[in-house]
């Protein structure tokens, strides 16, 4: 569903399992920091709202969205996390750079999901302009960070059910 038809911050709270015993890593791009810091705020607030302990949330930063894949891999290999949430923002410019970065980040996070035993969550905005990014980072379309946090909690719960862990 297109974001214009859905608010990223609206969801059925009763459908989200408790995040009480879950551990999360969040890897955040410093590029477009006005947007990524707003997304990070949404992730943290939503994880805590669903029972996560602040001490079970680790935040690390990488220079740009292209580095999210490498940063997420390093964090996953160095820690004992139930999920890694990747937060970034790529805004279309005048060159094909946007297409290459978006494709690389999407492919990289997909590969992490295939190659590792924990979920890696795609919390990357890919917008045509700054206004669209603001609208999706706490503006009129809600906050993609909320959506990424809910996705992480649900995927950790699915993994635990699938492998017989409560």
Question: Considering the domain boundaries, does residue 6 fall inside one?
Answer: no
Q: For residue 140, tell me if it sits in a domain.
A: yes
pLDDT of residue 55: 96
Tell me the C-alpha distance between 153 and 53, whole Å: 13
Place of tokens 């139930």: 82
pLDDT of 166 above 80? no
pLDDT digits (tens, 9 = 90+) for 20-70: 999 999 999 999 999 999 999 999 999 999 999 999 999 999 999 999 999
97 is catalytic: yes
Domain assignment present for 157: yes
pLDDT score recorded for residue 5:
64
Residue 143 lies in a domain: yes
DSSP 93-137: -SSTHHHHHHHHHHHHHHHHHHHSSS-EEEEEEEESSHHHHHHTE
Note the pLDDT of residue 1: 45
Q: Structural domain tally of the chain?
A: 1
111 strand-pairing partners:
none
**C-alpha dihedral, 10 to 143 to 53 to 85, nearest 10°:** 110
Q: Would 9 be classed as within a structural domain? A: no
For residue 10, tell me if it sits in a domain: no
Q: Is residue 104 part of a domain?
A: yes
The model's confidence at residue 164, banded by pLDDT at 50, 70 and 90, is confident
Record the pTM.
0.94
Between 153 and 165, the more confident residue is 153
CATH number of the domain enclosing 134: 3.40.50.960
For residue 96, give its domain range: 20-161
With respect to residue 7, please indicate whether it lies within any of the assigned structural domains: no
Average pLDDT, the chain: 94
In the predicted structure, residue 125 carries a pLDDT above the cut 90: yes
């Amino acid at each position: 569903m297109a974001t214009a038809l859905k608010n990223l911050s609206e969801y059925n709270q009763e459908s989200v399992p408790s995040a009480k015993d879950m551990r999360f890593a969040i890897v955040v791009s410093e590029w477009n920091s006005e947007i990524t810091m707003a997304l990070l705020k949404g992730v943290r607030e939503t994880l805590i709202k669903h029972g996560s302990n602040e001490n079970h949330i680790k935040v690390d930063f990488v220079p740009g969205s292209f580095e999210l894949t490498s940063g997420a891999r390093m964090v996953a290999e160095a820690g004992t996390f139930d999920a890694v949430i990747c937060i970034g923002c790529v805004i279309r410019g005048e060159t094909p750079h946007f297409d290459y970065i978006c494709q690389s980040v999407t492919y990289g996070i997909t590969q992490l999901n295939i190659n590792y035993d924990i979920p890696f969550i795609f919390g990357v905005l890919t917008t045509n302009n700054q206004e669209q990014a603001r609208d999706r980072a706490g503006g009129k379309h809600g906050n993609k960070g909320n959506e990424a946090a809910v996705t992480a909690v649900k995927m950790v719960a699915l993994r635990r059910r699938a492998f017989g862990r409560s």
